[in-house]
Chain A
Amino acid sequence: MTEESQKIMDQALIDELANLIVDGLNLEVSAAEIDADAPLFGQGLGLDSIDILEIAMMVSKRYGFALRSDDENNTRIFSSLRHLAQHIAEHRSC
């Protein structure tokens, strides 16, 4: 896979996730407004534990793998949309 096509796929996954999150959680931002590198918790998108569980459900249904909180990278996974997308790209089965 070329670097360019990899970039296309990465960006496509980030866009897809942004839409999934905005729709699934009824957020009042548009998917395009979400900064891929801003934190999802706290001062960034301001998600909370209810949201995280909802996202986990959407991820498992859509990408066919389950998130685990004893994953050492768990803090990193939810540190930004980009990191979440990377984690999904590495583990997805569909």
Chain B
Amino acid sequence: MNALMNALPLVFADPDQILLYRQQGGDTRAITARQFMVDAEALAVDLTTGPGAQQFIINLCQDRYRFLVGFAATILAGKTNLLPSTFTGETLRQIFIDTPDALCLHDHDDWPFPYPHFSLAHLSLARLSLANRCHREPSPDGLGESGQIKPEHVVAQVFTSGSTGLPMPHNKTWGKLVRNVEAALQQLGISSPVSLVGTVPPQHMFGFESLVLLCLIGRCPLWSGKPFYPADIVAALDAMPEPRMLVTTPFHLQALLDAQIALPRIDRLLLATAPLSVELAERAECVTGAPLYEIYGSTETGQIANRRPTQSTAWTLFPGITLTKAHPDENDELYIANGEHIEAPVMLSDRIHLRADGQFDLLGRVADQVNMAGKRSSLNYLTAQIKAIDGITDGVFFLPEPKKNQAGKNRAGKDQVITRLCAVVVAPGLNAADILAALRDRLDPVFLPRPLILVESLPYNATGKLPQIALQAILDQHLAALAPKDQTSWRIPADHPVFAGHFPGHPLVPGALLLDWVVERVAAYWQVSSLGLRIEQAKFAHPVLPDARVTLDLQAEADRCRFTLKVHTGETNPVAVSGMLGRQPNDAAGDTESKRA
């Protein structure tokens, strides 16, 4: 009985409280805590007896309901969930080297990996309460009986990508996770359940805490789907009762706001994983009317601080969490976090300024850390991965500077939220496609280099280091060699359907076809609908024959664009057509089109 006295519930909600909302066909189905436990108990039987006798369950489910059932069943069976940060063949291979006694639980249609697995994809969950299913024998120590969990039970190992290239597991005990969530509820002022819609995966620490654990421990009903597009987020919010909290990343938030679609009422926004600009925070609060909170934490520590960026740049530590200088005699801004739910003292991967009142400011990440749309890795890890590929003699990953002259805009002039990684590689005998294919098996696609540059040697300096400035120079040179952004070319196919039946024996490319192409290219350049453009002037100077290659140069101003289309005839490239296009100022045309739709 002693063990049970200290035990904590697996599900804190009352049995008849709704734990999840799930889309089934065209309907939204509510699942109570009681129904959830029936499913979890049933799956726990399978994990205890049948094919799933393994001690470690790699929970890869994407659907939040399936993830939660798998997560709870694993705990009820006295086992541990493994939560890898990426889902690639190489990640699984490494986990199985360290933990051979593991089973993959997933909801994918196919399973291309040579590891034991159990699919929840086709189980009709929440209907597993089959009368003929034998009930699991309670564990001898009472663990799991009636969903009571020992505080010291390691319910999960959450993985980070270690700098050596090996995934590093971090143990999470139920007792500390419960304290973690109770602290978060207090810090965020969530005193009664709020409906959760989340774009972040349940295997990542932020999604694990702010979706999975807020549901199980915080009694907040969770949307089961994995919303990705802005329209998904809107539909999910619409299907859930108020008050609602959207749990997301700056990347997804910006996409949602940019979509300019009508949003249902949102009562709170919870963000983490990547630096959020004050501008985006202000815009989000203005558009939604909801306060936006940011969480600071790491896989190792869990969430340890929060702030509301429109009101304070400083972070407030969760109660009981302490920061101490990693090197007391040095001014290196490195701190160790400890206390409360932190399993073991951890050096933070951000440089920190600690204020006298205990609040702190983030000064930037330790250089090695990278963050792509909320997914974290380290350059050392990525570099180790590329060097491990057969045929690569040397290589390095680096994070380029955001483009200076265009302030982070892409070729179409649109803001680019994410600066992509670049890799510089020495690999005689391999081409970029081979290397990318090999990397794809090792890395989450967001970390794939764009571009990957092949060189004869890396620019080591006298001390054997690779200076960022030298790597950036290689990238700049590479980019400069590419075609200028306001020029495009097109080979007009000889079998283009427009020629069929026209000009028998004397085919010419109709001027209208050329102008259509010009209009589309200018529309693409401005990122507006072609319907909002008008040709103000066009002068045809030279005929264009089928199979010819034409090159278009654009000189765009705010609302007019001069164009010159040249045809490649061999030695000279005469101008075929030139002129001017106009659009309504301030992008009004394109936006009007979208809104009318």
A and B, one complex? Answer: yes
Contact residues in A for B372 (Cβ distance below 8 Å): 50
Contact residues in B for A93 (Cβ distance below 8 Å): 596-597
User: Given the complex of chains A and B, what is the CA–CA distance between A28 and B527 in angstroms?
Assistant: 19
User: Given the complex of chains A and B, what is the CA–CA distance between A50 and B411 in angstroms?
Assistant: 17
Tell me, yes or no, whether B414 is within 8 Å of chain A by CB. Answer: yes
Q: Which of A25, A57, A58, A63 has the largest count of B CB atoms less than 10 A from its CB?
A: A57
**Chain B nearest CB: distance from A72 CB in Å?**
11
The reply to whether A53 and B228 form a contact with Cβ atoms under 8 Å apart is: yes
Against A, the Cβ 8 Å flags (1 = close, 0 = not) of B439-465 are 010001110101100000000000000
Tell me, yes or no, whether B489 is within 8 Å of chain A by CB. Answer: yes
Tell me, yes or no, whether A73 is within 8 Å of chain B by CB. Answer: no
Given A48-B446, A57-B255, A70-B225, also A94-B529 (CB < 8 A):
yes
Could you tell me which residues of chain A, from 1 to 41, have a CB within 8 Å of some CB in chain B? 4-5, 7-8, 11-12, 15-16, 19-20, 22-26, 28, 30-32, 41
The reply to whether B597 and A64 form a contact with Cβ atoms under 8 Å apart is: yes
Q: How many residues of A contact B (CB 8 A)?
A: 45
Given A26-B410, A31-B488, also A50-B593 (CB < 8 A):
no
Contact residues in B for A20 (Cβ distance below 8 Å): 412, 524
Given A7-B497, A24-B412, A66-B261, also A12-B597 (CB < 8 A):
no
Against B, the Cβ 8 Å flags (1 = close, 0 = not) of A56-76 are 111011111111111000000
Against A, the Cβ 8 Å flags (1 = close, 0 = not) of B507-534 are 0000000001100110111011101000
Q: Which of B74-82, B171-179, B230-238 sits within the interface?
A: B230-238
Tell me, yes or no, whether B416 is within 8 Å of chain A by CB. Answer: yes
Contact residues in A for B523 (Cβ distance below 8 Å): 62
Given A46-B448, A61-B527, A66-B230, also A53-B594 (CB < 8 A):
no
The reply to whether A28 and B593 form a contact with Cβ atoms under 8 Å apart is: no
User: Given the complex of chains A and B, what is the CA–CA distance between A88 and B516 in angstroms?
Assistant: 19
The reply to whether B410 and A23 form a contact with Cβ atoms under 8 Å apart is: yes
**Chain B nearest CB: distance from A51 CB in Å?**
9
Q: Which of B229, B416, B597 has the largest count of A CB atoms less than 10 A from its CB?
A: B229
User: Given the complex of chains A and B, what is the CA–CA distance between A22 and B483 in angstroms?
Assistant: 12
User: Given the complex of chains A and B, what is the CA–CA distance between A7 and B491 in angstroms?
Assistant: 17
Contact residues in A for B593 (Cβ distance below 8 Å): 64, 94
Tell me, yes or no, whether B252 is within 8 Å of chain A by CB. Answer: yes
* Residue of chain A at shortest CB distance from B236: A70
User: Given the complex of chains A and B, what is the CA–CA distance between A69 and B531 in angstroms?
Assistant: 28
The reply to whether B226 and A69 form a contact with Cβ atoms under 8 Å apart is: yes
Could you tell me which residues of chain B, from 542 to 597, have a CB within 8 Å of some CB in chain A? 590, 593-594, 596-597
Given A32-B490, A67-B229, also A49-B411 (CB < 8 A):
no
The reply to whether B597 and A50 form a contact with Cβ atoms under 8 Å apart is: no
User: Given the complex of chains A and B, what is the CA–CA distance between A62 and B528 in angstroms?
Assistant: 6
Given A57-B259, A94-B596, also A50-B373 (CB < 8 A):
yes
Contact residues in A for B5 (Cβ distance below 8 Å): none
Tell me, yes or no, whether B384 is within 8 Å of chain A by CB. Answer: no
Contact residues in B for A46 (Cβ distance below 8 Å): 436, 440, 445, 448
Given A4-B500, A53-B255, also A12-B516 (CB < 8 A):
yes
Tell me, yes or no, whether B251 is within 8 Å of chain A by CB. Answer: yes
User: Given the complex of chains A and B, what is the CA–CA distance between A94 and B339 in angstroms?
Assistant: 57
The reply to whether B229 and A68 form a contact with Cβ atoms under 8 Å apart is: yes
**Chain A nearest CB: distance from B207 CB in Å?**
14
Given A57-B255, A64-B596, also A94-B410 (CB < 8 A):
no
Given contacts A23-B485, A61-B528, A66-B229, 5 further A-B contacts (CB under 8 A): A23-B524, A32-B490, A46-B440, A67-B229, A93-B597
Minimum-distance CB pairs A-B, first 9: A64-B597, A48-B445, A66-B231, A93-B597, A94-B593, A7-B497, A23-B412, A23-B411, A69-B228
Residues of A within 8 A of B (CB): 4-5, 7-8, 11-12, 15-16, 19-20, 22-26, 28, 30-32, 41-43, 46-50, 52-53, 56-58, 60-70, 93-94
Question: What are 25 A-B contacts defined by CB distance under 8 Å?
Answer: A7-B497, A12-B516, A23-B525, A24-B410, A24-B411, A24-B527, A26-B410, A28-B451, A30-B489, A43-B440, A46-B440, A48-B444, A49-B228, A49-B446, A52-B228, A53-B228, A53-B251, A57-B259, A58-B527, A62-B528, A62-B529, A64-B529, A70-B232, A70-B235, A94-B529
